[in-house]
Chain A
Amino acid sequence: MSILEIVQHIDRSTPTELAARVAVDLDSPSPRIGAKGPPDRPGPEEDYVVAVEQLQDEDAAASLDKLGRAINSLLLDEVKAIQLTGRMARPLLLFNVCALLETVALPVVSQGLRDLRQSAEPLAAALREQGENVYSRLLLAHSVNQAKTSDDEQFWLGLLSDPDPLKVAGGVVGIRECGFETAMKYLPLVEKKHWEHREVLGEFSGEIMLLVDTYADRHWPECAEPFYPAYHESRIRELIEDYAARRYTPEDDELHQVAGSSVAAFATADGDDQLAALADGTPLQIKEQVSDLWRDNSTRPIAERDRDAFRLICVAAHRWSQARDAESRDQWLDALCYALRPAAQQWLKRFDRALDYAWQRIRQRHLDPQADVQALAGELVNYCKSGLSHRLRQRLTQVLGSAGSPPPAPQVLSQQFDSRVAFSAVVREAG
């Protein structure tokens, strides 16, 4: 079934019909079963994931409730089968349902998951010969779909004390998903468990990343400060502050637009008009505008600020390319760098993986980043290519490509840049 057909089916069917449909669609093998790495194909639950996300976007509460009831009935069927026979009836179905529920939260299903969590042995045994532990999958699904009651909290804490490291892993996820306060409260215990079961749980720094990203809407690292006194000698504070500092933090307007407001602003920006309007400015005036622009960055909308920053870069690059004498070129180059630096810092902060990537490439090519401004400008273009709009890429290619026409030799540029604030400094800082 296509995603549209799934959505229509959810809307039009009774919960019983829907449960039957879900059972048909999801009771099948999955490339995820036994996979210890990224599979080449998605599992059969993937279309349902997209359909649910679509319904969530539309606030279709009644449809989601119906799907939740249908899935809950399947979970309860499995509970009954285990009670009767001691074995799972449809392990593939439960595996795929868990894969769905570890990705999306649905109403009602916490009941069935709570009942099933008592059946650790039959679930763990069901697909063992295929290298899969369905109970671990159930815990992931349950962590996302839990009632966050004290009963749930006690269950997760109980798992943390279990000798089986896979159950400890389930406890770690459950506590993390049990709410921000609970997750922070038990973080030292979770850290201790990482030391005890490192071979299964991995590095504790990875848990901090997951925690911070799970509560992405919090103000990190400030939101963690009330908990620090209880952490004593732990590295938790250091790890949180380190990751929060490096982490991409979306701003409100970015979260509410599909492609990001900055990209949208760039797509509509017309640099030529601005170039004409600002053609009379001096390098000093441009630098003052750059300073003003970034000084009040706490209040201006990010899209507007980025658009203006981009225009100032274009103006400086344009005037550099038009400058007739060496002194003037020198001044405009200085203004261009002045405009590039804060913009690059901000943009790269938001897309810092692009910077890492650019930095690696610079190193691989054995270039001296301080000496070769052309390469660095190229990296900025590449960065834009991977992170921003096609329009911006073209525009930057145009203005930076024409800025040194014919391009000065790297050695000349090196001399010009010798004591200046070079774009490379940004690269070096973040690299």
Chain B
Amino acid sequence: MFGQAPPAIGKIADWLQYLKAVDSSSRAGELMHKSLLEDGNVCNGYGEQARQFIESQPATVHPQGAQGTYHGLLSHLKANGCRYCDPYNDGNRLSAAAFGRFARVVSAEAFAQHNLTPQVKTNRRSLRRAVGAELTANRISAIGGDTRRLVGQIGSDPSFAARSESVQPQADGSFDADEIRNRLGLDDARNFPRRTWLVVMRYREAQVPDGTCYRPTVLDAGWYPAFRPSPPGPPAPGWTQHLQTGGRGCEEVIHAPLDANQLDAFDLIGPLGTDPPDAYKAVRLATTP
């Protein structure tokens, strides 16, 4: 991300070392550290702003502080207009038409909270009461697949998405939800644990705002250790990291969110039979760019 090797001493070096130690049990800090160093798709201007921001911060003295600085950095960049859709990021810009049909996968609970009824009147407790997962699935099924009845948007800004063909059913027509989660690199035991349901949202390039999508960078992923930077080069989709194998999962892009009632269709799949695997971590940390 820094466009060149970070300095061996100084604030940035200290910060990176503390960042590496964040949440050592899950190795989250190590993974984030590696991604920050390796991502060559962050444009130089943003990399320089990141340097300046970290240099301007008080010296880091513990891992939590380093993580806090990273959150601060993301807020700072956002406040200064450094966004994926900025002209400076043209090196990651793609035509949505080249990507074809899109699929975005979210947890059924999040879908129920944001897309079934207006968010302003849906507290999450109502989704978790009783047997939350089944009630949620039931509530989603109650609208009968009618996308026109959906509210809100398909995600936050930016929204990650894969090709629709990466989230297809198997030969017998059923979905292997666990494999889909793993292929998409959805490593979040809080959003995607076993027994939860997933919603696959499907839409076409015509629905993508401005017909434009982008290769994601580490800055777009936020604090997300399962993100793996794509090889630098001409604009091309990024790649997810398969949670089970640590290899490439499928192509992914980011784009501005669209209204959920514009979706072509959505599938409810699951429930997940396993918690997210973390086999990818060892593979990732052992891999040189």
Contact = CB atoms under 8 A, between A and B. Distances in A.
Task: Report which residue of A99, A243, A254, A353 has the largest number of chain B beta carbons within 10 angstroms of its beta carbon.
Answer: A353
A136 B273 CA distance: 36
A40 B124 contact: no
Nearest to A364: B173
A200 B151 CA distance: 10
Given A38-B107, A38-B110, A352-B141, A207 B172 contact: no
Contacts of A360: 145
A140 B125 CA distance: 10
Contacts, number: 189
A200 B117 contact: no
Contact of A247 (B116, B123, B142, B257): B142
B159 A40 contact: yes
Nearest to B26: A2
B114 interface: yes
Interface residues of B, number: 72
B156 interface: yes
- Give the contact-size bracket for chain A: 35 or more
Nearest to B223: A41
Contacts of A206: 116-118
Interface string B206-225: 00000000000000001110
A41 B188 contact: yes
A29 to B, nearest CB: 5
A389 to B, nearest CB: 10
Contacts of A379: 173
A144 interface: yes
B122 interface: yes
B131 A250 contact: yes
B45 interface: no
A391 to B, nearest CB: 12
Given A209-B139, A352-B141, A169 B120 contact: yes
Nearest to B224: A41
Query: 4 closest pairs, A vs B, by CB?
Result: A353-B141, A38-B110, A37-B153, A35-B156
Given A28-B68, A28-B71, A38-B107, 15 more contacts: A29-B74, A35-B155, A37-B114, A37-B154, A37-B159, A40-B106, A140-B120, A172-B121, A173-B123, A201-B121, A202-B117, A247-B142, A248-B134, A350-B134, A351-B137
Interface of A: 1-2, 24, 28-29, 31-32, 34-42, 46-47, 49-50, 53, 99, 102-105, 136, 140-141, 143-144, 166, 169-170, 172-173, 177, 200-203, 206-207, 209-210, 213-214, 216-217, 243, 246-248, 250, 254-255, 259, 350-353, 356-357, 360-361, 365, 378-379, 382, 385-387, 390
28 contacts: A29-B75, A34-B157, A35-B156, A36-B153, A37-B257, A38-B110, A38-B113, A49-B190, A102-B123, A104-B125, A169-B121, A170-B121, A201-B118, A201-B120, A202-B118, A202-B151, A206-B118, A210-B121, A216-B129, A247-B138, A250-B131, A351-B134, A353-B137, A353-B138, A360-B145, A361-B169, A378-B172, A386-B271
